[in-house]
Every structure is written in structure tokens, then in C-alpha cells.
Amino acid sequence: MTSWIDHRRSAVLLHITSLPGPFHKGVLGKEAFDFIDTMLVGGFTVWQFLPLGPTHSHGSPYESLSTFAGNPELIDLRGCVQQGWLDESALSGECSAEQHRICRNQAGDRFWATVENDSALKYALESFQHQHAYWLDDFALFSTLKTVTHNHAWWQWSEALRDRVPEALTKAREEHQPLIRQVIFEQFLFAQQWQALKTYAESKDVLMFGDLPIYVAHDSADVWANPQFFTINTIGLCEEVAGVPPDYFSESGQRWGNPLYHWQTMQKDGFAWWINRVQRQLEWMHMLRLDHFRALEDFWVIPGNSEDGVLGTWRQAPGKLVLQALKDHLGSLPMIAEDLGNITREVTVLRQSFALPGMKILHFAFGGGNDNPYLPANHEENSVVYTGTHDNDTTMGWFSNADSNTQQHALTILGANAEDMPWALIACALASPAQLAVIPMQDLLELGSEAKFNTPGTLNGNWSWRLQALPSLDAICWQKALVLNKKYSR
């Protein structure tokens, strides 16, 4: 028995924003609760989604304004109507991102007007603020200053605010109290709605499976509040940035642009920032995928002025010390290592020394030799198998765009015909010895490349795919999935 999961299970991969509903993106409302009920009909008992933090304008959940905060755009405004903080008429018509923001502000005004006269609400709010002060105070001010500077990056603020001069921070907090209170309200409401969803999932024996980017965004409360931990200079610009060298996804590598960690500085206090970060995520999730796990062993260092990932050098990271600190503080580590790409023996040893499962992607399995670790015959129990991830094409898109050799190899291994896709690959994932099998919602719906969620290394046209409606409880996809989940003891 592994420490991260209790028995063989299967998951559906669907980000919250992809849920259907009346707002500009999916939210933590009725549709999220309905999705739990719906996927259970297909025999799935794990819901995997992407990071939950507030995003920049391009919408990538891997580039967040805070690694601790929740995305207020995921708040279900219908809950504010029920609480009496918003008029139902405010939700008539199409609710764009801007309309959602306006409604959140209206709800925030009424919330603060009622807090003093509602002792239970006041106590809940004060408890939340006290428990989360270690990140909430900085994030609320950071978010407020982003608003008053018309979304300028923090290193473009006045020197006093950029450099966190105490007197300047105190003055800003006094001047902008209404905006700060709005941020606190949104985070409080997000926490309440998320907890309600998580509690409901637990009542149905459904595990919530989250995702943690290895790095944080340059323009984030995390870097602004803790500059000593990151590779930035005295005026806030990155001296070195994160990314990966040329690989399967990109001939020029990827320049992610995130600042890297000053690991030696972090080690001085026992990696307390990392412990707080992971502990915060595990308040939300039952399991956590650690994106780009390789960077805990060694990481690609790109000069800050480079435009791609070609120029760079590998540098060692104290991954063993970090993971041991996490284990000492948290007990078990219900974490999955995203170990894709060019993985060295040292990375595998690090992962295995903490019994962390790795990932097996079936889209990568075919067209090569028998030693390919993604081939079904090479899967191991302590792993998580996917048809594809959010960074892959859909299975239908992948198969139709694959060369004839890859297609034929896949069909031979699967014992299938082309018309059996994507279900032949879904069945292969569910049959795998891997303890957890993850199927993207797009594959269950047999969708093509039009439903691809993200193209790595690109900024535009991503993160926008969305369900128009949840499949009905008697949908063919759930019927097929249930048969397979039962057959393969999931």
C-alpha cells in the first residue's frame, strides 16, 4: 500500500474554469458539485485540476499572482445572492470577467456592512485572517497596489513600495483600506466555497488532486514579499530565470521567465517558505502533483536577458533536504512527481527515495523501442498513468496527427483499430498497474485538437476550452468508463 493513495483509483482531469455555467468561466458552484456526482457514475473517484491561484491576464494557472491565494474569478456569485450580499438582478444577462469583478465588489461592500452585526460571520472572518496572516496581509496589499498602479508590475512601483520600506507600506495600508478589505473578503469567500466543495467530495469518497508549479511568477506577492529567496537584483529584475532546454515540446527550449530560488538562503530557516507553501496546498487538496519535479534535483538556469531556453546551464538543487523538511513537518507526502522530459538517474533516485510516484504518459509511449518507460509493459504500481495531460493534444488529436509508424505501433500494442480510438487508449490507461489512472475530460468526450487546453511555450489561445454542459448521468462516456473501471478494479 502506498502512502499517497489508499487503493486503485481513476481520475478525470478537468480544470475548474472548464466547468459549464453562467459566468465567463467555471466556478465553485452547482456545476462543480454536479461534476462530482457525474464522474462517480463513470466509476471515477479522483478529480484532478490545475493550480487554483489568481492568474495574470493571459490566464495561465501556472503563472499566479500568489502561490497561497485562491483565484477570485472562481467564486460563485450565486452564493453571494443566497447570503444577501448581492441582488439577483446583478446576475441577469451575460457575466463577463469585468461584470464578475463589479459584482464581487458590490458583494464585498455589503459583506463588510453586515460583518459587525453578525457575530458568527465576524468570528469566522477573524479566525480566517489570523490563520492566514502569514500570506494574506502581503497578498492583500500587493493586489491592492496592482489595482491602484493600473496593474503595473511591482518592480515598476515607487522605490519605497518596490523595496517594502516599512513607512511606505504602513501609509499604503491606511490609504487603501477599502481595496485591501475587498481582497480579504474575496479570499475569505473563496476559502468558504472551496471548503464546501472539498467537504462534499469527501462525503462521496472523492479525492481532490491539485497541482503545484515548481516556480512562482516574477510579478507575484511571493517574490515581492520575499525578494531574498529569489534570483532578482536590487531593482527587482531577474538576473536568472527558469525554463527548460530544447526538448520534445520545443526546439528552442522554453524560457518561462520565473525567477529561480536562492536555495542556500531558504535552507537557513529550514525551508519554512516551502513548508508553508505545500501545507497551504494540502489544506485544499488530498493529493498534489509537483510540476517539473526535476528542478528539485537540478534546474536549467537561463540568463535573464535571453529570449529562449537554448542558452543555459544546469545547477544543483537541495531536493533531498527540501523533501525531508517537508516530510518531517507534514508527516506523509501525498505528492506525485511530474518527472517528464529528460530525466536523469539522479532525479529518479530522489523521487524513489521518498517513494513519490512518477508519471506515465501514453502519448509518449509509441514509435520507439521496447525500453520506452511509457510503454504499458514498463509501468509500475507506484505511478500515475495518463492518456495525455493538459500540455498534450487530445488523444484524438494526437493520434490523427501522429506519423504512420507511431500510429501502427500504438494499434499493435493496444490490439486495436484506428476507429477504436480514443477508448483503446483509455482502456490501456485503466488496465495499467499504476495505482492511479487519469483521463482528461476531452478524451472521454472523444474530442479532437479543437479541445486542446494548452500549447507549452505559447501565450495566446490557451486555457479557454470549456464544457458547454456536463454529460448526462446516462451518457455513453460514463457507461463505457464504468465498465472499464470495474473490469480493471478501479
> Are 183 and 144 a contacting pair, CB within 8 Å?
yes
Using CA atoms, how far apart are residues 217 and 394, in angstroms rounded to an integer?
A: 27
- Determine which one of 76, 297, 338, 443 is catalytic: 338
Q: To 5 degrees, how large is the angle CA 306–CA 266–CA 269?
A: 170
283 is catalytic: no
Q: Which helix (H) or strand (E) holds 288?
A: strand 287-290
Question: CB atoms < 10 A from the CB of 293, how many?
Answer: 25
Query: Is 4 within 8 Å of 332 (Cβ atoms)?
Result: yes
The amino acid that residue 292 corresponds to is H
Element (H, E) at 99: helix 97-115
The grid coordinates listed for 129 are: 485572517
> In the annotation, is 222 catalytic?
no
CA distance linking residue 259 with residue 232, whole number of Å: 7
Task: Tell me how far the alpha carbon of residue 17 is from its chain's centroid.
Answer: 11
How many residues in total does the chain contain?
Answer: 490
Residue 259, beta-bridge partner list = 241
Distance CA 71, CA 160 (A): 28
Residue closest to 66 by CA, chosen among 111, 156, 163, 132: 132
Q: What is the dihedral of CA 13, 14, 15, 21, to 10 degrees?
A: -170
Question: What single letter denotes the amino acid at residue 284?
Answer: W
Residue 109 bears catalytic tag = no
Which three cell numbers, joined as nine digits, stand for 206?
Answer: 472523492
User: 428-433, long-range: CB within 8 Å, 24+ apart, which pairs?
Assistant: 428/362, 428/376, 428/387, 429/362, 429/385, 429/386, 429/387, 430/10, 430/484, 430/485, 430/487, 430/488, 430/490, 431/376, 431/484, 431/487, 431/488, 432/360, 432/376, 432/379, 432/385, 433/379, 433/380, 433/381
Q: End-to-end alpha-carbon separation of the chain, Å?
A: 15
Residue with cell 504499458: 376
Spatial separation of the C-alpha atoms in residues 488 and 485, rounded to whole Å: 5
Among the options 291, 297, 393, 443, which is catalytic? 291
Residues annotated as part of the active site: 291, 338, 391
